[in-house]
Amino acid sequence: MSQRKVSQREVFQREVSQRKVSQREVSQRQVSQREVSRREVFQRKVSQREVSQREVFQREVSLREVSQREVSQREVSQREVSQREVSQREVSQREVSQREVSLREVSQREVSQREVSQREVSQREVSLREVSQREVSLREVSQREVSQREVSQREVSQREVSQREVSQREVSQTEVS
């Protein structure tokens, strides 16, 4: 009986020890699995962080590229606008200069026409004056001629009268004698 008890105790102790060992193994396995799961979780987190950082970096890069494109487009648009304004200013200046030139030409033509008209008027006036002076001179000459004719006729008439008187005297004297 004592041996049976001892054997049973040993068996029991063995079972207990085996159970302890199995529990230890199980606990170790659980611990190892937990560590593995923790590592996996950590790696996942790390990988997610890396992925998120990459995405953030890519987003920043894309945003920078977009902003640079927008800036470049703005600069190009501003340059085009400035060039258009410059071209419009040049065109407006050319138009103004052409208008000034045309106005100057028109004013010069008007001045030249006025001068020509004034010259013509002055020449006409001079010609009219000359004609009037000629007419006056001709009138004076004609009047002088008429006066001279009258004087000559008077003289002739007086001479005739004097000759008649002389002839009558002679006749009267001859008759008296």
Please state the pTM of the whole predicted model. 0.36
Strand residue runs (E) in the chain: none
Rg (CA), the chain: 75
Distances (CA, A) of 24 to 9, 15, 28, 31, 82: 22, 14, 6, 10, 84
Q: What is the pLDDT of residues 38-92, one digit of tens each?
A: 999 999 999 999 999 999 999 999 999 999 999 999 999 999 999 999 999 999 9
DSSP state of 177: -
Q: What is the pLDDT of residue 148?
A: 92
Rounded Cα gap, residues 73 and 60, in angstroms = 19
**Average predicted confidence (pLDDT) for the chain:** 91
For the segment 83-131, what is each residue's pLDDT rounded down to a tens digit?
A: 999 999 999 999 999 999 999 999 999 999 999 999 999 999 999 999 9
